[in-house]
Structure 1
Amino acid sequence: MPRTNRKKSKILVKRAYEDARPEDGYRVLVDRIWPRGLSKATLELDQWERDLAPGTELRKWFGHDPKRWDAFQQRYRSELESEEMQERMRHLLAEADGQTITLVYGAKDEEHNQAIVLQSVLSSLNGG
C-alpha cells in the first residue's frame, strides 16, 4: 500500500472518567456503548467511532476477564484486519491530521481493554 505524506499522530489512551485536557488533542470514543453516567458535553469528544470497537459477541465473551486477554487481543486484531476496519482507521488518522489522538474508553480495567489493542494497531498503521 502506498504511503501518504500525512503527518504522524501520537496515539494515547484515556478512561472516559478522566477529565479532558488540551494535550489530549483529537479525542475519540472507541466503545460500542456510551459510558455510564457521562454526558456528551462531559466527554468533549471529536468523534465516536463505535464501529472500531470490538464486535458485540467478542465484547460480551471477553467481559474484561484478564484470563481471556491474550485470546481477546488476537480476536480483536483479526476483526481490525478487515478492509472496512482498515479504512476506518486510515480515515481516523487522516481526520486527526497529525494531532495527538486520544482513544477514550469506559472500562475500569486500564490494562485489559480494547483501546490498548487499538492503540497498537493504529500506531503500526501510522508508521510508528
Structure 2
Amino acid sequence: MSVRVRRIYETPEPEDGVRVLVDRLWPRGVSKEDAHVDEWPKGLTPSNELRRWFHDGGSYEEFTSRYEAELAAPEAAALLDGLRRTARTGRVTLLTSSRNPDGSHASVLARLLATP
C-alpha cells in the first residue's frame, strides 16, 4: 500500500498513481485539466464547521479527533473503505491546497488509509 500527500499546486508526476482531491472546495488558480484529478470524494472532507473551527485557531490534536469522528459516519466510512481498496492495488496521492499538508486533514486521511 502506498499513500502520499502532495499539494495540488505541484506538477503531476507519473508516480502519483490515482490522484484524489481531498479538499471540499476546488483550489483557486488550478484548472481541472491541469490538476489531473482522478477522484474528488467530497464526503471524505472535513465539514465546513470543523474546517472553520480549525482555521480559527483550533488545535490539531482536537481537529484530528473531531475529523476521525466525522469519518466514522456511514457515508464517509464507505468512501474511506473504497479509497483504502484503491490504495491496496497501487499508489494513491492525496491532493490538498493546504500550505501545510503534514498538519492538515490530508495527513489524517493518509494515516487512516495505511491502517487496515
TM over 0.5: yes
Q: Provide the residue aligned with 1:118 in structure 2.
A: 109
3-state SS of 2:112 partner: helix
Higher relative helix content:
2
Contact 2:87 2:113 in 1 (8 A): no
Q: Provide the residue aligned with 1:106 in structure 2.
A: 97
TM-score with structure 1 length normalisation?
A: 0.83
Question: What percentage of residue pairs aligned between the two structures are identical?
Answer: 37
Alpha-carbon distance in 2 for matches of 1:113, 1:64: 14
Let me know the Cα RMSD of the aligned residues. Answer: 1.6
Within a 5 Å distance, the mapping from 1:1-128 to structure 2 comes to: 9-63=1-55, 65=57, 68-95=59-86, 98-124=89-115, 127=116
Q: 1:120 to 1:99 in 2, by over 3 A?
A: same
Cα displacement (A) at 1:99: 1.3
Contact 1:64 1:113 in 2 (8 A): no
Cα displacement (A) at 1:82: 1.7
Cα displacement (A) at 1:29: 0.1
Q: Structure 1: which 5+ residue stretches go unaligned?
A: 1-8
Alpha-carbon distance in 2 for matches of 1:32, 1:53: 6
Deviating 4+ runs (over 4 angstroms): none
**1:6-60, CA deviations, whole angstroms, 9 ceiling, x for partnerless residues?**
xxx3111000111110101000000000011000011101111121010110001
Cα displacement (A) at 1:111: 2.5
Alpha-carbon distance in 1 for matches of 2:34, 2:43: 21
3-state SS of 1:48 partner: coil
Q: Structure 2: which 5+ residue stretches go unaligned?
A: none
Contact 1:28 1:104 in 2 (8 A): yes
TM-score with structure 2 length normalisation?
A: 0.91
3-state SS of 1:11 partner: strand
